[in-house]
Amino acid sequence: MSQSDLEKLPNIGKVVAEKLVDAGINTPEELRKTGAKNAFLKLRLRDPTACLSMLYGLEGAVEGIRWHSLSDEKKKQLKEFYQSL
């Protein structure tokens, strides 16, 4: 499976797709199964500079929407998770 399938998801460009594949997440289905938070943790192990926007992007990809469309409540939950790391 190529990273191009991941790139078809909202918010996932070439760089993030490559990072996901490097982290062992190879398909959109694997990303949905892993979940945004766990996928972010895997990425953060390899890239300590992974930021809150990346977490928002992953959640949007899991939900099939642009991250800007995440609810305020979801963004708040993700921000609290990010700050707890």
What's 67's domain CATH number? 1.10.150.20
pLDDT at 2: 63
**29-66, pLDDT tens digit by residue?**
999 999 999 999 999 999 999 999 999 999 999 999 99
State the DSSP string of 1-28: --HHHHHTSTT--HHHHHHHHHTT--SH
37 phi and psi angles, rounded to 5 deg = -65, -45
Rounded to two decimals, what is the model's pTM? Answer: 0.94
Q: How far apart are CA 41 and CA 55, in angstroms?
A: 9
Domain limits for position 14: 3-83
pLDDT tens digit sequence for 67-85 = 999 999 999 999 999 999 9
Provide the domain count of the chain.
1
Start-to-end CA span in the chain (Å): 31
